[in-house]
């Protein structure tokens, strides 16, 4: 084999939190997420680079503790090592080179894995991360001696900035010229031998850092820890909703001026009403909630990168064990409060099928960002736009949603046999967030959300405008549909226009706001209801409460169902979730409206 | 020899052996609970959940179930 002409395959392997993804990003100049939680790289990332010496295919793998497949993400790493051609047909059976990533602060543990891979015959290059932090805390690693003892090239790199990394061509030149035949067979005795070697080596090469890690004394305090958790999570959501307000007001007035500008610059016609009252109003209705969604993604990124999420997983482990789950389910559930799709993918890190199933059933009930515009509008109607009360209302909605998810989770867990009682998690070091990465990720995820929502809003706007304009505005098809579905929503006291908006929200939840906004404008001509007078006559307080409860429970996201289908392999679970949650949402909404009417 | 789960806060011990079925014992070894290593209980459980141990310079949380599989001798 001649590496200078053939494409070569290099895989990044390492423990959770070793800094693989950062190394991978720096080497390949791509931007993936570097996070602090074990198993965050659930899907393996790949990249291809082309340099003077040829084409290199890169694979980033999920962090693993051992190389035997237990959970689904461990299987990916196992396959990359033993059967790479099953992942990509063009690849050889094993990677040409392993970039083994180890954390300077966890040197002994991480060197065990290095030794184990080497003893199986893999060609390895060692990259030790967080060199800058190690120096800062007075620690030192004798790199030359380590390279000699480990019998492999060693690079000492800084976190995030990537200084100390070799060039791609340097790495390619380290690929052995002779093919190798590794034998991946782990055993207790193999691990024990690696442990002895690592312990001996670390004693020779490491001057340990003098870093005190006092924060955990408070965060993991037996009583105070739980209280701090509630406080941190409460503040987390409260600040997001309150902090977004000024930005939202800015977008609101900006968009309104733009709309008015366009209204006055195009001649009045049926088409200008489509443009201004249809498209512009609908897009604006969702655009205004972008700050909340952006802040939610950024705040999650901060919690993730500081290392708090792993601590939170420990704190909620006991309560989650009541549902047959463990602290490992906390991250999928929390990311479900931003979007169910990455949350469902994150369930791949869970150690067994039972825990995955229970978590999958709970995720669609988490208050995802598509519900934010809906709750935002309904709370504004309920509290007449009072921002502080709305922020408190939002936190209450979140608390109730999570309670519902817990109750459903408990019900689901009684239907499965919970296999074993094991839970372990390593605590990453506390870190100051790397802001550029957090903001970049937050913006990327928000843009993704808007891109996903955009076409649905556009299509629904056009359809509704068409239905409301033909055959004529006095007696439109939309009104006919509305009257036809009216009885379905009569038990909740929802007007036919609200009913149509609820139906449209099954395309995507956030469409509800856009549709309701344009419905009010449409009906303005017909019924003389002015939007500026508020929508109070349209929706009574019990009806608003009913709508909130409906949106808390109902399954209205096609993408979520598609991802669940992909992850579980059949339509059985997604179909059951849809029937159960839509039915339950309807019944709960009727119940809430009727209870509220008693007061 | 006593199970790691009986350790008191800030008490230090040396790991003697890790029991349990092959894969599980291997995972605990790979986490750093290797025979001969020094281990101490950093924090008792929050809300009756997992306990946090310090081993090989890292903090690792274990449930009672896993901590009972690791046998240590207290100095």
Q: What is the DSSP string of A538-553?
A: TS-HHHHHHHHHHHHH
- Whether residues B26 and A68 touch (CB distance < 8 A) is answered with yes
Here the tokens at position A473 are 């505005």
- Of B53, B55, B26, B61, the residue nearest B38 (C-alpha): B55
Give yes or no for residue A31 having a pLDDT over 70: no
Q: What percentage of residues in chain A have a pLDDT greater than 90?
A: 30
Q: Measured between CB atoms, which of B29, B59, B66 is closest to A195?
A: B29
Give yes or no for residue A373 having a pLDDT over 90: no
Instruction: Name the burial class of residue A95, with classes exposed (0-12), middle (13-18) and buried (19+) by CB atoms within 10 angstroms of its CB.
Output: buried
pLDDT tens, residue by residue, A393-431: 988 999 999 999 999 999 999 988 877 688 999 888 888
Query: What is the model's pLDDT at position A30?
Result: 65
Measure the CA–CA gap between A482 and A131, rounded to whole angstroms: 65
Which CATH topology does A8-207 take? Rossmann fold (3.40.50)
Query: What is the model's pLDDT at position A44?
Result: 67
Measure the CA–CA gap between A457 and A463, rounded to whole angstroms: 10
Measure the CA–CA gap between A561 and A555, rounded to whole angstroms: 9
- Whether residues A427 and B52 touch (CB distance < 8 A) is answered with yes
β-pairing, A124-129 with A154-156?
parallel
For the ranges A207-216, A421-430, B17-26, which has the lowest average pLDDT?
A: A207-216
Cis peptide before A471 (omega within 30 of 0): yes
A residues 98-137 lying closer than 8 A (beta carbon) to B:
105-109, 112-113
| Average confidence (pLDDT) over A315-327 | 92
For the ranges A387-391, A534-538, A557-561, which has the lowest average pLDDT?
A: A534-538
Spell out which residues of chain A touch residue B29, defining contact as CB-CB under 8 Å.
Answer: 188, 191-192, 195
- Whether residues A222 and B44 touch (CB distance < 8 A) is answered with yes
- Whether residues A317 and B28 touch (CB distance < 8 A) is answered with no
Please report which confidence band the pLDDT of residue A527 belongs to, taking 50, 70 and 90 as the band edges. Answer: very low
A187 interfacial to chain B (CB closer than 8 Å): yes
| Average confidence (pLDDT) over B40-65 | 89
Distance from CA of A16 to the nearest CA of B (A): 11
Measure the CA–CA gap between A103 and A127, rounded to whole angstroms: 8
Report, in angstroms and rounded to the nearest whole number, the Rg of chain A calculated over CA atoms.
28
- Whether residues B28 and A424 touch (CB distance < 8 A) is answered with yes
pLDDT tens, residue by residue, B54-65: 998 889 999 999
With CA atoms as reference, the chain A residue closest to B16 would be A192
With CA atoms as reference, the chain A residue closest to B46 would be A222
Measure the CA–CA gap between A181 and B26, rounded to whole angstroms: 24
Secondary element (H or E) of residue A49: strand A45-51
pLDDT tens, residue by residue, A432-475: 888 887 888 888 888 877 887 777 777 877 787 788 777 776 77
Query: What is the model's pLDDT at position A227?
Result: 93
Give yes or no for residue A587 having a pLDDT over 90: yes
Mean pLDDT of chain A, nearest integer: 84
β-pairing, B58-62 with A424-427?
antiparallel
Match 């990537």 to its residue by tokens: A162
Measure the CA–CA gap between A285 and A263, rounded to whole angstroms: 17
Residue A186 DSSP label = -
**Per-domain boundaries in chain A:** 8-207, 224-597
Query: What is the model's pLDDT at position A528?
Result: 35
Instruction: Name the burial class of residue A42, with classes exposed (0-12), middle (13-18) and buried (19+) by CB atoms within 10 angstroms of its CB.
Output: middle
Query: What is the model's pLDDT at position A144?
Result: 95
The contacts found for B19-25 with CB under 8 angstroms, 24 or more apart, are: B19/B69, B19/B71, B20/B69, B22/A187, B22/A188, B23/A66, B23/A68, B23/A70, B24/A422, B24/B69, B25/A188, B25/B69
Residue B9 DSSP label = B
Here the tokens at position A94 are 């094993």
Measure the CA–CA gap between A48 and A30, rounded to whole angstroms: 10
Measure the CA–CA gap between A213 and A216, rounded to whole angstroms: 7
Here the tokens at position A207 are 């001057």
Backbone angles phi, psi at B3, to 5 degrees: -65, 150
Please report which confidence band the pLDDT of residue B28 belongs to, taking 50, 70 and 90 as the band edges. Answer: very high
Give the residue ranges of DSSP H helices in A214-339: 215-219, 224-265, 270-273, 281-287, 290-306, 308-315, 317-321, 330-335
Mutate to test the interface with B, among A133, A134, A424 (most CBs of B within 10 A): A424
Give yes or no for residue A304 having a pLDDT over 80: yes
Residue A127's CB: how many other CB atoms inside 10 A? 27
Measure the CA–CA gap between A373 and A369, rounded to whole angstroms: 8
| Average confidence (pLDDT) over A580-590 | 96
Measure the CA–CA gap between A238 and A251, rounded to whole angstroms: 20
- Of A90, A76, A14, A53, the residue nearest A166 (C-alpha): A53
Spell out which residues of chain B touch residue A106, defining contact as CB-CB under 8 Å.
Answer: 56-58
- Whether residues B27 and A192 touch (CB distance < 8 A) is answered with no
| Average confidence (pLDDT) over A363-378 | 89
Distance from CA of B23 to the nearest CA of A (A): 8
Measure the CA–CA gap between A105 and A139, rounded to whole angstroms: 9
With CA atoms as reference, the chain A residue closest to B63 would be A423
Q: Measured between CB atoms, which of B22, B25, B34 is closest to A195?
A: B34
Residues 6+ apart with CB under 8 A from A115: A150, A193, A194, A197, A198
Domain that holds residue B41: 2-74
How much of chain B is helix, strand and coil, in % rounded to 5? 20, 40, 35
Query: What is the model's pLDDT at position B20?
Result: 84
Measure the CA–CA gap between A499 and A516, rounded to whole angstroms: 9
- Whether residues B61 and A427 touch (CB distance < 8 A) is answered with yes
Backbone angles phi, psi at A537, to 5 degrees: -65, -25
A residues 396-435 lying closer than 8 A (beta carbon) to B:
420-427
Query: What is the model's pLDDT at position B54?
Result: 93
Distance from CA of B61 to the nearest CA of A (A): 5
Q: Measured between CB atoms, which of A195, A217, A423 is closest to B50?
A: A423
Give yes or no for residue A228 having a pLDDT over 50: yes
- Of A346, A349, A356, the residue nearest A325 (C-alpha): A356
Residues 6+ apart with CB under 8 A from A574: A561, A562, A564, A565, A568
> Do A324 and A350 form a contact (C-beta atoms < 8 A)?
no
Q: Measured between CB atoms, which of A186, A315, A424 is closest to B49?
A: A315
B16: domain CATH number is 2.30.30.90
Please report which confidence band the pLDDT of residue A39 belongs to, taking 50, 70 and 90 as the band edges. Answer: very low
Spell out which residues of chain B touch residue A230, defining contact as CB-CB under 8 Å.
Answer: none
Distance from CA of B69 to the nearest CA of A (A): 10
Number of domains forming the structure of chain B:
1
CB pairs under 8 A between A and B: 135
Here the tokens at position A14 are 């390492």
Measure the CA–CA gap between B70 and B2, rounded to whole angstroms: 8
Please list the residues that pair with A11 across neighbouring strands: A59, A98
- Of A93, A63, A67, the residue nearest A78 (C-alpha): A67
Distance from CA of B3 to the nearest CA of A (A): 15
For the ranges A411-420, A461-470, A501-510, A538-547, which has the lowest average pLDDT?
A: A461-470
With CA atoms as reference, the chain B residue closest to A186 would be B26
- Of A576, A38, A75, A584, the residue nearest A332 (C-alpha): A38
Query: What is the model's pLDDT at position A320?
Result: 92
Query: What is the model's pLDDT at position B32?
Result: 92
For the ranges A2-6, A139-143, A168-172, B21-25, which has the lowest average pLDDT?
A: A2-6
With CA atoms as reference, the chain B residue closest to A216 would be B43
- Whether residues A191 and B28 touch (CB distance < 8 A) is answered with no
Q: How far is CA A127 from CA A100, A147, A170, A196, in A?
A: 6, 11, 13, 21
Query: What is the model's pLDDT at position A457?
Result: 72
Mutate to test the interface with B, among A103, A104, A184, A195 (most CBs of B within 10 A): A195
Report, in angstroms and rounded to the nearest whole number, the Rg of chain B calculated over CA atoms.
11
Spell out which residues of chain B touch residue A71, defining contact as CB-CB under 8 Å.
Answer: none
Match 């109070």 to its residue by tokens: A536
Backbone angles phi, psi at A127, to 5 degrees: -120, 120
Here the tokens at position A355 are 């825990």
Mutate to test the interface with A, among B10, B21, B34 (most CBs of A within 10 A): B34
Query: What is the model's pLDDT at position B23?
Result: 80
- Of A490, A580, A478, A596, the residue nearest A548 (C-alpha): A596
Here the tokens at position A486 are 């009216």
């Amino acid at each position: 084999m001649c590496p200078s002409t053939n494409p070569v395959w290099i895989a990044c392997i390492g423990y959770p939190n070793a800094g693989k993804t950062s190394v991978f990003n720096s080497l390949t100049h791509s931007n993936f997420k570097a996070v602090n939680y074990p198993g965050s790289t659930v899907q393996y990332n790949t990249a291809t680079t082309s340099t003077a010496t040829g084409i290199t295919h890169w694979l980033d793998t999920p962090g693993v503790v051992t190389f035997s497949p237990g959970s689904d993400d461990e299987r990916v790493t196992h396959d990359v090592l033993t059967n790479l051609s099953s992942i990509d047909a063009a690849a050889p059976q094993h990677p040409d080179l392993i970039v083994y990533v180890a954390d300077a602060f966890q040197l002994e543990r991480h060197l065990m894995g290095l030794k184990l891979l080497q003893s199986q015959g893999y060609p390895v290059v060692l990259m030790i991360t967080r060199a800058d932090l190690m120096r800062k805390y007075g620690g030192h690693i004798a790199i030359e001696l380590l390279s000699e003892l480990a019998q492999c090239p060693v690079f000492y790199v800084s976190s995030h900035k990537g200084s100390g990394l070799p060039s791609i061509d340097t790495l390619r030149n380290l690929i052995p010229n002779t093919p190798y035949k590794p034998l991946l067979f782990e055993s207790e005795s193999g691990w024990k031998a690696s442990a002895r070697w690592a312990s001996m080596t670390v004693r020779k090469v490491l001057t340990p850092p003098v870093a005190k890690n006092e924060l955990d004394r408070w965060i993991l305090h037996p009583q105070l820890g739980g209280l701090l958790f509630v406080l941190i999570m409460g503040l987390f959501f409260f600040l997001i909703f309150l902090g977004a307000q000024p930005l939202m007001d800015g977008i609101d007035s900006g968009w309104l001026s733009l709309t008015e500008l366009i209204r006055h610059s195009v001649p009045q016609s049926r088409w200008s009403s489509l443009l201004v009252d249809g498209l512009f109003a609908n897009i604006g209705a969702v655009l205004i909630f972008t700050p909340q969604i952006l802040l939610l993604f950024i705040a999650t990124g901060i919690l993730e990168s500081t290392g708090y999420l792993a601590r939170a997983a420990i704190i909620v482990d006991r309560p989650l064990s009541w549902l047959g789950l463990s602290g490992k389910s906390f991250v999928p559930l929390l990311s479900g409060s931003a979007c169910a799709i990455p949350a469902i993918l994150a369930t791949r890190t869970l150690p067994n099928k039972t825990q995955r199933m229970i978590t999958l059933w709970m995720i669609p009930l988490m208050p995802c960002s598509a519900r934010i515009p809906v709750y935002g509008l309904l709370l504004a109607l309920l509290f007449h736009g009072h921002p502080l009360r709305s922020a408190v209302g939002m936190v209450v909605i979140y608390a109730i949603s999570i309670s519902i998810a817990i109750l459903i989770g408990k019900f689901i867990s009684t239907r499965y046999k919970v296999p074993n009682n094991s839970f372990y998690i390593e605590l990453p070091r506390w870190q100051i967030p790397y802001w550029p990465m957090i903001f970049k990720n937050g913006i990327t995820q928000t843009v993704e959300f808007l891109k996903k929502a955009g076409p649905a809003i556009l299509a629904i706007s056009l359809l509704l405008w068409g239905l409301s304009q033909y055959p004529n505005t006095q007696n439109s098809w939309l009104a006919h549909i509305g009257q036809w579905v009216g009885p379905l929503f009569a038990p909740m006291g929802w007007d036919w226009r609200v009913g149509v908006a609820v139906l449209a929200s099954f395309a995507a939840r956030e469409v509800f706001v856009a549709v309701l906004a344009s419905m009010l404008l449409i009906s303005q001509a017909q019924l003389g209801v002015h939007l500026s007078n508020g929508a109070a006559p349209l929706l009574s307080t019990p009806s608003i409460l009913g709508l909130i409860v409906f949106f808390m429970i109902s399954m209205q996201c096609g993408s979520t169902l598609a991802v669940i289908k992909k992850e579980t392999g059949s339509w059985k679970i997604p179909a059951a979730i849809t029937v159960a949650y839509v039915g339950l949402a309807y019944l709960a909404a009727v119940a809430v409206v009727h209870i509220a009417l008693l007061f | 020899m006593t199970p790691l789960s009986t350790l008191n806060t800030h008490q230090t011990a040396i790991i003697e052996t890790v029991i349990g079925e092959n894969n599980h014992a291997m995972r605990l070894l790979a986490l750093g609970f290797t025979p001969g290593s020094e281990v101490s209980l950093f924090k008792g459980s929050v809300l009756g959940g997992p306990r946090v141990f310090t081993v090989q310079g890292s903090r690792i949380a274990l449930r009672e179930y896993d901590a009972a599989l690791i046998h240590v001798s207290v100095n």
